[in-house]
Amino acid sequence: MRRTAEEAAQTRAALLDAALFLFAEHGVASTKLAEVAQRAGLTRGAVYHHFADKTDLYAAVMADSWETTTAPVWAILDTDAPLEERLSRFLVTWLRRLVEDDRFRALLTVSMNASYSPDDPDGQAAKARGLGEWGERLETALSRGGPGARLKEALSPAEAAGHLLAWLCGTALLAATDPALLPPGTADGVSCVLGGILT
């Protein structure tokens, strides 16, 4: 009996889910396709039916997971709230998701672990592009300003975005090691970060 499109989509989703968590737990290079199939409760043939190889699977995990998992967090920066409120909500939500959302933490863990392998220059370039996009989003949010708090006089939006980007990457790396190391996911927990860039 031919599998329906819905069944095929469910199989693909199960493989992506299994791969995401295995990549976060063991690294992409150390994860075997047979392990992905086993975690998903499927055969290796199912993996090869949907993905040409591990590189293809990795690309699909990142593409499929990224927007759905992180978009709601980044959307906070696009609201019309005052700058300090937007930034505080964004950073607090980021911390909470790193602690409470296994998928978010796994995706950030895989993202922070650089490329597919240490000798994969394309993967390193893709990571650099992704982090550059984060920086641009932060810079755009900081440039919008709005009523209330403003950037410290010595900081340009690009420089402030660089500081925030370093904090985002640092917290993601901490969460990958031990979420208990993170600062509290509260307004007080991010006040020192905001105090460093806002007046």
pTM of the full predicted structure?
0.88
Q: What's the confidence (pLDDT) of residue 115?
A: 53
Helices H / strands E in the chain, number of each: 9, 0
The full DSSP string for 135-199 is HHHHHHHHHH--SS--B-TT--HHHHHHHHHHHHHHHHHHHHH-GGGSPPSSHHHHHHHHHHHB-
Q: What's the confidence (pLDDT) of residue 114?
A: 57
Q: Give the angle 133-102-127 at the CA atoms, nearest 5°.
A: 25
Superfamily holding 5-197 = Tetracycline Repressor, domain 2 (1.10.357.10)
Average pLDDT over residues 57-80: 90
The first and second tokens of residue 198, run together, are 């806002």
Please, are residues 151 and 144 in contact by the beta-carbon 8 Å criterion? Answer: no
Torsion sign across C-alpha atoms 71, 144, 86, 169: positive
SS3 at position 28 = coil
Q: What is the dihedral of CA 87, 88, 91, 95, to 10 degrees?
A: -170
Please, are residues 77 and 141 in contact by the beta-carbon 8 Å criterion? Answer: yes
Of the candidate ranges 26-30, 144-148, 170-174, the one whose mean pLDDT is the lowest? 144-148
Top-confidence range, 7-11, 57-61, 93-97: 93-97
The first and second tokens of residue 131, run together, are 């982090």
For 152, residues 6+ apart whose C-beta sits below 8 A from its C-beta are 160, 196, 197, 198, 199
Average pLDDT over residues 122-147: 84
Average pLDDT over residues 83-103: 96
Q: Is residue 118 predicted with pLDDT exceeding 60?
A: no
From 113, 107, 132, 98, select the one nearest 90 (Cα to Cα): 98
- The pLDDT confidence band at residue 93, using thresholds 50, 70 and 90, is very high
Average pLDDT over residues 24-45: 94
Taking only the tens place, the pLDDT of each residue in 14-23 is: 999 999 999 9
Average pLDDT over residues 75-96: 95
For 51, residues 6+ apart whose C-beta sits below 8 A from its C-beta are 15, 57, 60
